[in-house]
Structure 1
Amino acid sequence: MAEMQLDQAIRLFIDEKDYISSATLAGAAEEIFGSLLKREGIPNALDQLFANWSANGAPEIPSPEFRKALNNVRNQLKHAGDPAFDEMEVRNVDSMLLIARAAGMHPSFSDAPTQQLIRFREWWEKNAETLISTLPEID
């Protein structure tokens, strides 16, 4: 199921430029992949990001705050828990990063990438650096 969600998220991202639906599906796939890995005692994408962040001398952020920040868009789309987000903009970079997190866990569940994952990798190689440059710098 997570693979199908991820593939559709990529289609919506690349073909339709529907970043809200793409982020929602990618977030769902990422959560399923992550939960399955956790069951096996294997770090998920968020665990690995936090470990890398902490190990590379980046500004210290407690794990709960780090996770909340990285899951903010996904959780607001899923739960609508904060009235401040009743109207929110989901940027292409938000969707791209959720797809990347889910895509990074896909090899744990499949021997080969799907056609959509190959498309996303090709898209990433051409476009990701430009999108990432739009993110704010951390002092």
Structure 2
Amino acid sequence: MTHIVSKIEAASHQLDWAIRLLIDYGVPIPAITLAGAAEEILGKALGDISAHERLVQTITESHDLGREVVSQQHLNKARNWLKHWTPSKEPEYETFDLLNEAIQVIARGLSNLLKYNQSLPSEGPRFIRWIENMKDYKESSH
């Protein structure tokens, strides 16, 4: 069976499943790669106004860091490490705060979708509530 699918529709579905995987199953690794794919699709559609580009510009200017350093060694390091491997250049093991990485890439993807067509995927509002509940929990535990 064939389907006609738009890139934006695919990105929206990827974000939905990234959110489900993170919240319902507690598995951040596939959430990072799925949300990263969605963020990239939407980011390319938006160009210079994408969440990633805006962050790169802000961090590069305010911290006097190179664009490549900000993008590849900070914002996309976990996503790219999980998706690609060049054994001669990268270690087999790496340490990441996977929950934080998943939250960040999902948030950037949602931000891009909102900028692109003023919509959220069906799981978007639940993700936002989940983040708010995490924040409330952390504040009440201090």
Q: Shared fold by TM > 0.5?
A: yes
Task: Indicate yes or no: 2:84 matched with 1:76.
Answer: no
State the match for 1:8 in structure 2: 17
Question: Distance between the aligned counterparts of 2:135 and 2:108, measured in 1?
Answer: 14
State the match for 1:135 in structure 2: none
State the match for 2:49 in structure 1: 43
Gap change, CA 1:73 and 1:62, over 3 Å in 2: same
Task: Indicate yes or no: 2:125 matched with 1:118.
Answer: yes
Question: Distance between the aligned counterparts of 1:37 and 1:10, measured in 2?
Answer: 22
Size of the aligned set, in residue pairs, is 124
- Contact preservation (8 Å) 2:60, 2:67: no
In terms of Rg, which structure is larger? Answer: 2
Q: After TM superposition, give the deviation of residue 128 of structure 1 in Å.
A: 5.0
Judge which range, 104-113 or 58-67, deviates more.
Answer: 104-113
State the match for 1:92 in structure 2: 99
User: Unaligned stretches of 5+ in structure 1?
Assistant: 131-139
Q: After TM superposition, give the deviation of residue 47 of structure 1 in Å.
A: 1.2
- Contact preservation (8 Å) 2:60, 2:70: no
Kindly, what percent of the aligned residue pairs are identical?
A: 31
TM-score, normalised relative to structure 1: 0.79
Question: Distance between the aligned counterparts of 2:116 and 2:49, measured in 1?
Answer: 14
User: Unaligned stretches of 5+ in structure 2?
Assistant: 1-9
Judge which range, 42-51 or 93-102, deviates more.
Answer: 42-51
